[in-house]
Structure 1
Amino acid sequence: MIRVLVVDDSPLMRRFLGRIFEAEPDFDVESARDGIEALDKIQSFRPHVVTLDIEMPNLGGLECLDRIMVEYPCPVVMVSGLTQRGAEATLRALDMGAVDFIVKPQGTISLHAEELTPLIIERVRAAAATTIRRSRRLADRLKFRAGNAQLHPQALRGRQTTLSAPAERPASSFVLVGTSTGGPPALDSVLSTLPADFGWPVLIAQHMPASFTGPLSRRLDRLCLLEVTEVTRPTVIRAGTVYIGKGDADLVISRRGDALVALPAPSDPEHRWHPSVDRLVRSALEHVPAERLVGVLMTGMGNDGAAAMADLRAAGGHTIAEAESTAVVWGMPGELVGLGGATDVVPLSAIGQRLKDISPWR
């Protein structure tokens, strides 16, 4: 049985989520009204996964998550609103150790139940199957056990400015990145290692709603030496810039005159997840020789990007799959490895260095 603890101050949301999980034969469900009650129930119920609302009285979601990750580490799925405030708090939660998030239904919950139920079940099942790495926040756990922990949400490091960005120039080769569950911290890890003179553009398809990708791009822009921007309109692709696909749309590469541009395209119903990694890679192959493309597939559920990146490698391109040892969910990179489409299989901490090794602008 999968023990899931639903934490939400809204009785309506507790009933909605509770009924979804109770309808599954292998779920055992309990609920809590706020963070304080959640911490008590975690000790007795020992859930395999917690769904955690962000805004709650007494002890809010971020503060509760902080305590969970230090005192009782287990997979946590945040329950977030679609507002910018909700998006920023969710990204902060993912940085603190939450493995995934689900978006609260807007308006009448019953109207969205049929649409949301399979997605919620899939994400919570995937979260329950993940293993919280013992090295994550180890120092905080040791302080807690010693009785002198000072728990607080992690702060952003702040953008460094010791190096100057490369002169604006057209792109010659491209890095194409796909990720989903666990992606924002993984992107942080990779992009923060790239120097300001990294000579290739980086185009990223991260599965997210439209209201989340703007805050994600601004957050990464503060953390990285490279400029990071959300693609909201046709944008000429320049070397040394990171382009984040707008959520609920697809990020594609096209040609406008002599220039290659990144642009948001209406989501293609043939693809389940958006921005679609498959569509990004295949659009790149239409305009750029495969040997000038590097595909990176990181943590995420499903198989988005695996077939396209396998074709990229077969056509002469280079592909990197995140190793199972570091992926929150080894779905997407695992599918690429299973297809024989990965040139390299490396842990998350080595992906940035591998990109620097491949890039001619070192």
Structure 2
Amino acid sequence: MTRLLIVDDSPLMRRLLLDIFTKAGGFEIKAAKNGVEAIELLHRFKPEVVTLDVHMPDMDGLECLDRIMVERPTPVVMISALTAEGADETLEAMALGAIDFIGKPHGPISIEIEGLAELLIEKVRSAAQAKISRATRLADRVRLRSAGTPPKGKALRSALPAKPSRTAKPLPGRSSGEGLVIIGTSTGGPAALDVVLAGLPADFPWPVVVAQHMPRSFTGALARRLDRFCALTVVEVVKSEPLLPGHAYIGRGDADLLISRRGASLIALAAPSKPELHWHPSVDRLVESAMQFLAPERLIGVLMTGMGNDGAREMAELAHRGGHTIAEAEETALIWGMPGALVTAGGADHIEPLDAIAGRLNSLVGR
């Protein structure tokens, strides 16, 4: 039995979530109506996974998450509104340590929650298997033990680092020529992208395209957040975009991201998603499209944390044809589904911990 803590201030939402997970089976469940109760149950019930509403009185979801990740790090799935404000809050939750999120129904909750039940169960079960690093929020935990008092919530939230300079330098000779880096990720991806993209310089010579499984209302906020602190210029692909060095392109949620050509120039474009594919933007479809317009040796595929196997098939094919591939190592991936599938398929040229991926990319393009 998996110990699940449901935290939501709405009695109706708590009852609906209790019904969903009770019917699913395999869960021992407790519920809290606010963050204060949640923290008490965190230590007494010792849940293996938590669902956490963002908006609650007294102690909001972000402050509660902050306390959880400092006092007793536990996999958390956020229940968030599918709005611009909800997207920003959810991405802050990812930065604080949340594993995943699901959009709260915006219509009649009792009707729409049934349509989300299968996905919610899948996300919670996957999150319960996620590995929370012992280093997660370590400095804050040390401060808590030293002070002997609970943290002050927002005071512990890490501000984004200042954006590095984008002053371009002459490109290295070995990196000259057309090329493309393709990154695919899902559960745990926003925090992983923070690390990898922040490690690439403003004059990184190849464009970077990213398929992050995420709803449409969240990918714009993700691009804006990454752009604020990465040296690269980061944009969401909502229309045809020319692919330029020193830029990263985030695929729009609920659509697929494709590579094509316009004249002599490579472009990225958002295409209607294929219903037979389970996750979007599809990493497999992105890699397949890129191989139609670039020689394999001019492509680098990176597969990072995420459940399932999206991207493994086409990146393995890319490696077979002579392209370069990187799989995130199991010890750093929150969910080793996608990169693990690439390794199992024999398609990973390099297996790197998260904090070494940017260095490997810089080396491969000749920096």
Classify the TM-score, shorter chain: over 0.9
Q: In structure 1, what is the Cα distance between the partners aligned to 2:343 and 2:170?
A: 36
- Offset of 1:272 from its aligned partner? 0.5
* Contact 2:203 2:245 survives alignment (8 Å): no
Equivalent residue number for residue 65 of structure 1: 65
Q: In structure 1, what is the Cα distance between the partners aligned to 2:360 and 2:77?
A: 31
Give the alignment partner of residue 167 of structure 2, picking from 157, 161, 164: 164
Equivalent residue number for residue 98 of structure 1: 98
Give the alignment partner of residue 354 of structure 2, picking from 327, 341, 348: 348
Give the alignment partner of residue 153 of structure 1, picking from 148, 153, 157: 157
Equivalent residue number for residue 81 of structure 1: 81
Q: TM-score, normalised by structure 2?
A: 0.95
C-alpha change, 1:167 and 1:260, in structure 2 (3 Å) is: farther
* SS, match of residue 178 in structure 1: strand
Q: How do 1:1-362 residues align onto structure 2 when only pairs under 5 Å count?
A: 1-147=1-147, 149=151, 151=153, 152-161=156-165, 163-165=166-168, 172-360=178-366, 362=367
After superposition, the C-alpha distances for 1:186-228 in whole angstroms (9 at most, x for unaligned) are 0010011111111000000000011101110011001110100
Q: Percent identity?
A: 57
After superposition, the C-alpha distances for 1:290-334 in whole angstroms (9 at most, x for unaligned) are 111000000000000000100010111000000000000000000
Q: Which shifted more, 115-124 or 149-158?
A: 149-158
Aligned length: 360
Q: In structure 1, what is the Cα distance between the partners aligned to 2:177 and 2:76?
A: 40
C-alpha change, 1:232 and 1:166, in structure 2 (3 Å) is: farther
* SS, match of residue 287 in structure 1: coil
C-alpha change, 1:165 and 1:20, in structure 2 (3 Å) is: farther
After superposition, the C-alpha distances for 1:28-69 in whole angstroms (9 at most, x for unaligned) are 111111101111121221111110111100100011111111
After superposition, the C-alpha distances for 1:49-102 in whole angstroms (9 at most, x for unaligned) are 110111100100011111111112111111101111111011011111111111
Q: In structure 1, what is the Cα distance between the partners aligned to 2:170 and 2:57?
A: 49
Q: In structure 2, what is the Cα distance between the partners aligned to 1:105 and 1:312?
A: 39
Query: What is the root-mean-square deviation in Å for CA atoms of aligned residues?
Result: 1.7
Q: In structure 2, what is the Cα distance between the partners aligned to 1:255 and 1:114?
A: 42
- Offset of 1:167 from its aligned partner? 8.5
Q: Which amino acid aligns with 1:25?
A: G
- Offset of 1:114 from its aligned partner? 4.0
- Structure 1 runs (4+) greater than 3 angstroms displaced: 148-151, 165-168
Gaps of 5+ in 2: none
- Offset of 1:25 from its aligned partner? 2.2
Q: In structure 2, what is the Cα distance between the partners aligned to 1:158 and 1:17?
A: 40
Q: In structure 2, what is the Cα distance between the partners aligned to 1:315 and 1:2?
A: 43
Q: TM-score, normalised by structure 1?
A: 0.96
Q: In structure 1, what is the Cα distance between the partners aligned to 2:330 and 2:32?
A: 33
